Amino acid sequence: MPELPEVETIVRGLAPLITGQQIQEVEIHKAKVIACPEPSAFAELVKGRTIERLQRRGKYILMELSGGVTMVIHLRMTGQLVYYTDPAPPPKHTHLVLRLAQGWLRFTDPRQFGRVLAVPASELDRVGGLKDLGPEPLDPRFTEKELCRLVNGRKQKIKALLLDQRVLAGMGNIYTDEALYLAGIHPDRPAAELTARETKALYSAVKKVLDEGIAFGGTSVRDYVDAHGVEGRFQKMLKVYGKKGEPCPCCGTPIARTVCAGRGTYFCPRCQNKKCEVRGQW
């Protein structure tokens, strides 16, 4: 699933290409991807409007249109949002096409889990999932003190807590594993047990892996591509995710895999020992 860095990369790539363009035609090839209103009403609502601004909230793409309407796009597991300037036939699994004044914006999704909706901007706070999001980890207002508040007294495993979008918006399986590795924290540790030193290390690690993920254009381990259809490069920088059996970059111990919060989880048994604090790289 595209996580914060992937969605941010898509938004940054699309913004200069489509901002200011008018949506001239709407083609819906798979009705189920339109969450609301019903497909014909969706097409009527967005057609003719100008794209005024793109932004990201958690893993959601928000496309602000003229007349006070916002299109909300969630890519889920395998969704892609790619801009084309040629009129070639759309690729397989294309479910929504927006014909713009100078190109086409195509939403494709092999597994059909992604969703698109359009609502008056004044009703965004009523959109399920979006309205319940926690703070943005890259927001300057998200401080180390705020992370301490979020973990304090929580009995959840720290990985489960970081994956909870109501606690912290945008974190997913890949970047959570990488951040916990950099901080030297075992994914099964109860959040409430983290020391002040560990919480500080985790705060720095979360910021670092997200910033690097964006800098390298996101992580392509399956279907993710950016606004131009190009794969990311951060998969080449991963330390533990997907590395079961490979030597830890720090100590050489084979990377282990377990299941935490229902997700495949990768960690170093030595560097992220349940009883140790931080391994000192910070």
202 is written with which tokens? Answer: 């985790």
pLDDT band at 87 (very low <50, low <70, confident <90, very high): confident
Bridging pattern class, strands 256-260 and 263-267: antiparallel
pLDDT tops 50 at residue 121: yes
pLDDT of residue 234: 98
Sheet of 34-36: strand order equals 34-36, 115-120, 69-74, 60-65, 51-57
153 vs 269: CA distance, rounded Å:
25
Q: What is the mean pLDDT of residues 200-219?
A: 98
202 vs 181: CA distance, rounded Å:
9
pLDDT band at 78 (very low <50, low <70, confident <90, very high): very high
pLDDT of residue 274: 78
pLDDT tops 90 at residue 30: yes
Average pLDDT, the chain: 95
Q: What is the mean pLDDT of residues 34-53?
A: 98
21 vs 11: CA distance, rounded Å:
15
pLDDT band at 280 (very low <50, low <70, confident <90, very high): very low
Catalytic-labelled residue, pool 154, 207, 263, 270 = 263
pLDDT band at 88 (very low <50, low <70, confident <90, very high): confident
pLDDT tops 70 at residue 277: no
The Cβ of residue 99 has, within 10 Å, a number of other Cβ atoms equal to 18
Active site residue 115: no
CB of 170 closer than 8 Å to CB of 176: no
Helix (H, G, I), strand (E, B) or coil at 233: coil
Bridging pattern class, strands 51-57 and 69-74: unpaired
Q: Measuring CA to CA, which residue among 280, 107, 267 is closest to residue 178? A: 267
Active site residue 59: yes
Q: Measuring CA to CA, which residue among 188, 197, 136 is closest to residue 167? A: 136
CB of 182 closer than 8 Å to CB of 271: no
Residue 267 pairs in a beta bridge with: 256
pLDDT of residue 282: 34
For a pLDDT cut of 70, what percent of the chain falls above it?
97
pLDDT tops 70 at residue 72: yes
pLDDT of residue 165: 97
pLDDT of residue 139: 97
pLDDT of residue 120: 96
pLDDT tops 50 at residue 154: yes
Q: What DSSP designation does 254 have?
A: B
Catalytic-labelled residue, pool 5, 6, 49, 59 = 59
Which of 73-77, 262-266, 275-279 shows the lowest mean pLDDT across its residues? 275-279
User: Cα dihedral sign for 30, 34, 37, 41?
Assistant: negative
274 vs 184: CA distance, rounded Å:
9
pLDDT tops 90 at residue 275: no
Q: What is the mean pLDDT of residues 141-162?
A: 96
List of residues 6+ apart from 37 with CB closer than 8 A: 45, 117, 118
Report the Cα 123 to chain-centroid distance in Å: 23
pLDDT of residue 89: 86
Q: Using CA atoms of 54, 10, 205, 132 in order, give the dihedral in degrees to the nearest 10.
A: 50
